[in-house]
Amino acid sequence: MYWPVGIPSVFQLKNDFLTGLEYTSVTRGETVLALKKFHNGTHFIVLTSRRIYVWQIRPTVLVSSITCSAISLTLYGENRDLFIMKDSEFAIIKTSLGFLLIYSIHKNLDQKLYKFHYSHNKTTVFDFLDLHGLTEYELLYLKFKSMIKVDSGLSCVLVLDDCLLFSTFNPPSVQFVSQKEFNHTITTSDNLAQMEWIEDKNVTINDMIYEKTMNIYIWITSNSKAYLVRKNPSVKSKNQENIRNWTGICFYVPETEENHIVKTDINTRLSLIAFGCKNGEIKMFYIEKSKNLISYLYTIILDDFNVTGNIESLLWSEDGFVIFVGFQNTWSLWSAYGNLLSSKPNVEDVSENSNEEIFMGGVSHALWFNEGAELIVVSNKEKSSGKLWKINMARSIRCFFLNPENSFNFILQVSDIFLIYKGYEESDIDIINPKQTHWKHVQIPLNYFYDNWTIMYTAISSCSQHLVIAGYYGMAYYNFKTERWKIIVKDTNYSFRVSGGMCWYQDVLIASVSINNTSYGLKLFSRKETIDNIQALSFIDIGMPIYLLTLISENLLLYTGNNLIMQYLIIMNDFKVKLVLVGSIDLKDIVYSPKSLRAFTWCFLSDQMQNGHFINNIHMASIILLVDDKLMFLKPKKNDSALKYDIYLLSEKVEYFLFIDHLSQYLRPSICAFCGTEIKIWMDFSNIIDDNDNQSSDECVLNLKNDRNLITIPLDFYPVFFLLNKGVILGIKNTVIQHKNMDFFSFRIDTMTTLFLPYILEKYLDRTTINESIILASKYQKLVYFNHILELLLYNVLEKGINCSEDYDPLLPKVAFFLKHFPKMLDIVASCARKIEVSFWKNLFSAVGTPKELFEKCMELDKLETATEYLIILHTIESTENMDKNIIRVLEKSVLLKKWKLCSELVRFSVSYDNEMILKKFILSFPQILGIQN
């Protein structure tokens, strides 16, 4: 996940000659028409109507440019769009007169740019820069190769691995030209009129997308219908005269003109398609690989169209877990399944208030690079003068399965710094205080970071004292006590790459690695007392790439490239580590693409026990899978000779999940899933599965019909981990700060919290006995905010009862009886009553007792502060005479107990109550109260 941080950098061209490492951009007054990145991630191109600029990404510097001559503008027209071939060997420019200009991309290794000149006192900093080639940059430039004239009118262009595919207007057709034919401009054409599956005639193709792993195309026609298309040269048309190259089916028809598609982008990682519509909505569609179908998933709406304006840019991040949307008047950043991560603040007319941060008022183009660490945006305002803004991102290291051991180890990467959450080490009240700083900063060693800058995997030991990170090659180990790093790049003279994950088992680090992309397996490292003594123990050859790795107690589970889940048992004897293969299961016909499986674990149900114990055997275990956005539960079928599973679909739109096993000290075995805007918790899920076992076996995936144990918790931030012992869900919310006096914006990440225990207790009271609910609540009774938890429980149940259509709410009396088992019950009810509407009081006090009864109990227990709160409630519903007596009673007892602060508050209340008789009676009786004789 990504959140903007810090102050954006601005790039703009100087008027004078470029020297050194000055930040540069396009010439002032030019409008940026396109931003495209090389597929190897080293450079990107900025296109304007008359110029092409080639930039290096790390660091961000301009390395070359091309300016269109007057003759070129006359013959070919101005630049309109830009495309880069997959191998980064060719750049294709679409012009206003219907030409495709093809440029070859070249490197000049002999010519260096921006070379440093040192003084006599050269420091070690420059030695480091020299070592990594940062004191001079290679020249990369474009050279004109050929051009393609499209006489029939050029509509849109799609760049494939070895050819160009483009659509035309007159006649409406789809044409392609092979890369080998670039110099000969020989094209092959397919007329849309001959494609019977296109529902409307006289339409053209406005946009095309290609998904390589499934070999499918998405076509958007001029009337905004979307088609799933396949290239199928073997199918013949009815008249047998022509080969029909394309077959397709329509999967989206706009209901109104407001639903017409204006922007599209595809997410190959999660099989998602985003359609930006004319009304400012973003519609998400899911590609079902098993059925070769596309189905609607959900819709993103930021604000009213009058606020956002048109959608001008739409771009998935490189890993597919975040989407950036640039609007005419604003912008937003969303998680893949609909959680708003960041957006423009609610300020009036940013373009007028700020001269520097014009992009906050609308974004026309955007570009992700450095694996999501940075985002380049271009403003759509005229006064932006072609500036580029670079926004730094705080990037979370991916983890889609959490368990109670790793659920609180959360790491953010900001450039070359790690932010590691340490809030769980602080007091209860500090955890829920958003103003507290909970992050520990750790500097990544530069000599590892520069060569391996995409940090893909991290692992923190269970004692939270040891950290391992893995980038492009090797790994680096950090000790929190000594604050020292140990870099391990090569082992036995072979470079290795962590490819599936890492985990700690006691003092042993287990990493799934690939060596030279030819050997795949597990590499074990031993951590000794000192950091320099970490060493490789052994290598276990698996023979297949390992995509995922999960550790559960002493069981290591691997998901491999041949669609198997393998179980290894970890055995440690005399400081020796041994991994024993127990068994494996095949996910054929369950997971259709290995890269679609994002996370997995196992669990055991009550009927999977032998002699009261769970058997650590994968053939007897149930499996939980997160496939794309779908959370599935696999239960082995009974009385079946071959191992087969009943498959239950728990939820869709799942970002990640947490499994709480039977060893948890706090909750029953449960599954928690974050689904974009809410947390779903399945309590005691074994009962849910048992209740659904009678469904028809003809269904491939069974939907849960019983949701009585399902808890839903709405969220307005992105949750990152659970603190089960605190009853808290912690998350991150992005804040945009406007510095009016300094004329710029900055981004900040804030830690947010919400309590999940009130929702759990509510479900316990609804589904189980009072005693079980009391046992659960007593585990959290020492928390300083425990009373607030019970108050939220009472409020939630009361609010649902008011909104319920039934006259009687059976849960509210249960909650009232439950609260009576806790000493702070009177305080909780009073606090809740003062925060709700008076119309709710009838339901509340019918269950917990009348305010008069509760007031009398407070007086009996000398809980005078709480009694005062009930006085305020009684003031609303009782007569003046009774109110006067009650105030005097509390005043008299406060004097006896010498609670002078409370006395002053009661006197102040009496004055506001506008009854001087109370004060007179109290003053006259004051000596008698204190036992003073006249």
pLDDT digits (tens, 9 = 90+) for 626-635: 999 999 999 8
Q: What is the pLDDT of residues 531-568, one digit of tens each?
A: 556 677 888 889 899 999 998 888 899 999 999 999 99
How large is the average pLDDT for residues 493-514? 85
| pLDDT exceeds cutoff 50 at 25 | no
Give buried/exposed letters for 137-160 (b at 16+ CB in 10 A, else e): beebbbeebebbebebebbbbbbe
CB atoms within 10 A of CB 39: 12
Rounded to two decimals, what is the model's pTM? 0.87
| pLDDT exceeds cutoff 70 at 702 | no
How large is the average pLDDT for residues 683-706? 60
Computed on alpha carbons and rounded to an integer, the radius of gyration of the chain in Å comes to 33
The residue among 6, 784, 867, 868 whose CA lies nearest residue 389 is 6
Residue scoring higher pLDDT (339 or 22): 339
Amino acid (one-letter) located at 565? I
pLDDT band for 439, please (50, 70, 90 cuts). Answer: confident
- The region of weakest confidence among 615-619, 763-767, 914-918 is 914-918
Which residues neighbour 821 within 8 Å (Cβ) at sequence distance 6 or greater?
770, 774
Q: What is the pLDDT of residues 569-607, one digit of tens each?
A: 998 887 788 899 999 999 988 888 888 899 999 887 765
Q: Which two tokens stand for residue 533?
A: 């003594």
How large is the average pLDDT for residues 501-525? 88
How large is the average pLDDT for residues 708-730? 87
CATH code for residues 31-200: 2.130.10.10
User: What integer pLDDT is reported at residue 20 of this predicted model?
Assistant: 36
- The region of weakest confidence among 24-28, 377-381, 429-433, 542-546 is 24-28
| pLDDT exceeds cutoff 60 at 396 | yes
Superfamily of domain 397-585: YVTN repeat-like/Quinoprotein amine dehydrogenase (2.130.10.10)
- The region of weakest confidence among 44-48, 91-95, 611-615 is 611-615
Contact 285, 296 (CB under 8 A): yes
How large is the average pLDDT for residues 498-522? 88
pLDDT band for 463, please (50, 70, 90 cuts). Answer: confident
* Side-chain half-sphere exposure of 371, counting CA atoms within 13 A: 14
Q: What is the pLDDT of residues 282-306, one digit of tens each?
A: 999 998 877 778 899 999 998 888 8
| pLDDT exceeds cutoff 90 at 276 | yes
Q: What is the pLDDT of residues 190-223, one digit of tens each?
A: 888 888 888 888 899 999 998 887 888 999 999 9
Mean pLDDT across the chain? 81
CB atoms within 10 A of CB 370: 18
| pLDDT exceeds cutoff 70 at 698 | no
User: What integer pLDDT is reported at residue 400 of this predicted model?
Assistant: 61
User: What integer pLDDT is reported at residue 879 of this predicted model?
Assistant: 63
H/E element, 894: helix 880-896
Q: What is the pLDDT of residues 91-109, one digit of tens each?
A: 999 999 988 898 988 887 7
Contact 279, 331 (CB under 8 A): no
CB atoms within 10 A of CB 611: 5
How large is the average pLDDT for residues 755-782? 89
- Highest mean pLDDT, choosing among 175-189, 314-328, 892-906: 314-328
Q: Hey, which bits of 506-554 come out as E strands?
A: 508-515, 519-526, 535-541, 546-552
- What Å distances lie between residue 640 and 75, 584, 636, 645, 646, CA to CA? 74, 17, 9, 10, 11
pLDDT band for 352, please (50, 70, 90 cuts). Answer: very low
| pLDDT exceeds cutoff 70 at 240 | no
pLDDT band for 608, please (50, 70, 90 cuts). Answer: low
- The region of weakest confidence among 187-201, 518-532, 760-774, 824-838 is 518-532
pLDDT band for 368, please (50, 70, 90 cuts). Answer: very high
pLDDT band for 160, please (50, 70, 90 cuts). Answer: confident
CB atoms within 10 A of CB 24: 18
The percent of residues in the chain predicted with pLDDT above 70, rounded, is: 81
User: What integer pLDDT is reported at residue 383 of this predicted model?
Assistant: 66
* Separation between Cα atoms, residue 517 and residue 513, nearest integer Å: 9
